[in-house]
Structure 1
């Protein structure tokens, strides 16, 4: 075994460790791997930076932009409102139609964007008909995932797999090559959810539309303090940060005796008998009361309207998976400067926290309760790192751009499907069309791209090249062939499905595909069979992982909003994973012969 092979195996071990832990974010981990490959000399600079110019990387970035343009037209919001009204009168048939629509939309745009739009729709529908939102949010996620597997552009993973195959000399997959098997998975998933899954999902979130202050259990963490006439604060401009320095407290607003409208916390001159509304625990409030120039106002049962005077608003926002905020501490994000907002509580990994919020390391799917001005809700909504789950119709839609965006999307898909030009050409051309027509600004286009996924591809794709170049892939392939080849290619395929499912449960979807797809291709080459069935098995298995809330970003997105527990996904997802494993073993060889 050469030094190069030993080094690559060590890097594979490092990759699994970094991707499976929170030591660094996955984009940083991928760049660490790339730097190691370049320093070792295993890859030349040209080979190392091939991920930057890879067609999959360029196409995925372009599709993020096209999906964002479609989202900003408000077309999906209109569809959500339509289904919301229909389902109030005839729930089950229209739920089926709506989830089918979500799957269809996810086939041609980023399924995260689709689910982001439909989360508040589902919560609103559930409150109208007296059903727990938990019953609807998990099926919403599953429908989005099942839709994404049907086309080449439905998910970045399909584009990645196609690029891996093409780089090794095979023909790239076309737009609808994934459709036949995808439809079987889609049908099986819908049958499972409507016969068993929805009924089996626990009702974690309240059926009736609950007060946000109650959902986040804020009653013990809100206090009004009265400024005494003797206070040395009188006549000064309120400095909320100085007042609560070294205390786990936030000033939400200041009430003036002469009026009851909102006030800017940093522009208000304090007067006697002003009331400061504070977020924080009783222990921290006691520390503040040591000043002796503030008096405690009698407590009462808090409701949302107490925090929604004038311009003040109270919203629930979920952290988008794989966003720039993922793995960052809340204290490192200046909510006040960015959004004029104060975080009041957070639901993190299914557990509610109202104290020491700054120490919480954010994860995709976490729900944050924010107090902010109504005019700043739009800023939060426009930030791709957040999903507003407590408000409908937050975004100002560009309805006049609907025909343009739909035409561009149709041309991108149609030209690629007809084989006139590859998707790696039509997708960037579509972005140019959106920018030229003013459907999206340049800044919005840059913001729409999930740069963490792009950097993941930039770093991990060269690792696949190193696996091939050093012969490490051939060694791994020989080991798998020794174990499974005597049982035939179908068992080999089935083994890859199980391996990919297990790996995707602990690391990201694209990372598992980037690591296993080259090995699957090498195994097929050594056995002398068509590599497509094995490579597609890796792709499907990575995408159809439902046994944890973090196996797919769509599941992570609904995790906090549905108030789910980790085991809820295992309970509902494990049987579905077993069904899909059986279906993949039976039907993939039918559509793609060995």
Structure 2
């Protein structure tokens, strides 16, 4: 064993220890690796930085954007609503639909993102049907992991292994190469979790000391908004038409606070949150909050040219994906007590309207602009969710309290959902047909998402999980360094000595076990980067096809069922499900062994040795 190989193995060991400790962060460790390899002379600078131009890295970044487009357009939430409607009060039916839905979504977007979306949905449904969240949240995380076995683009390890095959001049995997195995594992996973859920919690949810978050309807009722909400159409002869709101003084003169405007454009209705500069047009429908429910306004409506319209439900519930509510408290050091609501200038400073005031736990009957605030008052503000979220830590004069439950279901581009599905379909068809490389198909999908305004540039940049990309870029040089220093040959020689005489299937089982165990300590992406070259070299030493060996590594990298820290998907459900470490061990280890058995039996049949 050469000194260079010892250095690379030592660097790899140090990296793994830092990954386990998570100090510093994984992306920082990756950057340290990028520095260490060229400075030690093991690799050239060009070889070390080659990961930044690797097609798989670009493809993964593009898929983050595609997945975010599905979230912004509300497709994920609509699937959740459909699942609730179909499941009814049956826990078994809910578990099946949940795992199918999450696995399907996770096959084309980030599994961690899908699981994060569905956690509040599952908690809400569990509370409604009287089931313990623990019986549903682990199936949720398992479905997220199984989704990585369904398509080529479902998880970064699949693309890393595919890229390694191509780099070695071999045929890579097609879009649906993983699908037959993944579907079988998904079916086994559903059956397994229908049994294993009985070991995870009582049938009835235990009482929790934590109160669930209020909904928009509950907030509106608590502040007595429902008594004061009105919808008013602007008549063609209205004197409000073609004037901005800040010129009309509706709040001070008539006690009418305009919250938002429904405006008909072509064949759809758009909601515009009211600001001082909002220009009122004939035919607009004003969503207003009256200063008092008892105020006599019929004469004012005629004078202003407004026509009252029926309101079947709170307009905050109707427009919950765009229009939000939040409570704002006045902390002890606030300078706001003594000021009137008019003097706060919430609309001009924060693009938000103050619509409610609670004092000593009781909501005031109306909201008068000359009402002076007192210490410990709580305000209710209304506006767009993005403006509400910006209040976090914005001022020492007020404190944004917990947001209502609907904030988890905000879809700022909900009207673009059909276009998002079209973009996804185009990307998948291009990948399946092979007309263009996968990375170009994903970039075309991103550009179409942008062209149809399913996403914007700011949200696209935020959607990319840069630490994950840096981790891949930092780990890719390790594979080359191990190859140059003889580390890959050493690993292959060890595998052949231990399992070579037992046959190829024994080697496949050994590769699966080593990959799955390594994935307990470092990320599955880093594991795939390290194990893919070993798998391909092992196949070449046996003069066998590399495809089944590479497929085994990809499948094992996704089989991170055994501990709550072996995958971010498991970690997400750990606290909401009130799981212990041993819960994942006793449920995950048997299922991992089952997946290994299925993979070792099925992979050589689908990809002949």
Q: Secondary structure at the match of 2:454?
A: coil
Q: Distance in 1 between matches of 2:111 and 2:212?
A: 30
Q: Distance in 1 between matches of 2:98 and 2:328?
A: 39
Q: Secondary structure at the match of 1:511?
A: helix
Preserved CA contact (<8 Å) 1:103 1:144:
yes
Alignment of 1:89-488 (within 5 A): 89-194=89-194, 196-203=195-202, 206-207=205-206, 211-212=210-211, 262-265=328-331, 267-268=334-335, 310-311=379-380, 339-340=392-393, 372-373=400-401, 377=403, 394-488=409-503
Please, what is the CA RMSD of the aligned residues?
A: 2.8
Pick the structure with greater CA Rg: 2
Preserved CA contact (<8 Å) 1:120 1:391:
no
Match of 1:550 in 2: 565
Q: Deviations over 1:492-524 (max 9, x none)?
A: 111111111111111111111111111111122
Q: Deviations over 1:4-39 (max 9, x none)?
A: 322222222222222222232111112211211111
Preserved CA contact (<8 Å) 1:202 1:568:
no
Label 1:13 to 1:211 Cα distance change in 2 as closer, same or farther (>3 A).
closer
Match of 1:67 in 2: 67
Q: Distance in 1 between matches of 2:482 and 2:133?
A: 45
Q: Distance in 2 between matches of 1:591 and 1:578?
A: 20
Preserved CA contact (<8 Å) 1:56 1:160:
yes
Preserved CA contact (<8 Å) 1:532 1:592:
yes
Give unmatched runs, 5+ long, in structure 2.
Answer: 214-326, 339-375, 383-388
Q: Distance in 1 between matches of 2:512 and 2:25?
A: 26
1:494 and 2:509 correspond: yes
Q: Secondary structure at the match of 1:212?
A: coil
Q: Pick which of 162-171 and 51-60 moved more.
A: 162-171
Given the alignment, which residue of 555, 569, 574 partners 1:540? Answer: 555
Preserved CA contact (<8 Å) 1:61 1:450:
yes
Given the alignment, which residue of 584, 588, 609 partners 1:573? Answer: 588
TM superposition score normalised by structure 1: 0.71
Q: Secondary structure at the match of 1:514?
A: helix
Preserved CA contact (<8 Å) 2:330 2:377:
no
Q: Deviations over 1:62-115 (max 9, x none)?
A: 000110011011121122123223323444234312321221111111112221
Label 1:44 to 1:81 Cα distance change in 2 as closer, same or farther (>3 A).
same
Preserved CA contact (<8 Å) 1:497 1:581:
yes
Label 1:445 to 1:21 Cα distance change in 2 as closer, same or farther (>3 A).
same
Q: Distance in 1 between matches of 2:551 and 2:416?
A: 36
Match of 2:525 in 1: 510
Q: Distance in 2 between matches of 1:308 and 1:478?
A: 73
Q: Deviations over 1:310-339 (max 9, x none)?
A: 4399xxxxxxxxxxxxxxxxxxxxxx9982
TM superposition score normalised by structure 2: 0.69
Give unmatched runs, 5+ long, in structure 1.
Answer: 215-260, 272-306, 314-335, 343-370, 378-387
Preserved CA contact (<8 Å) 1:65 1:445:
yes
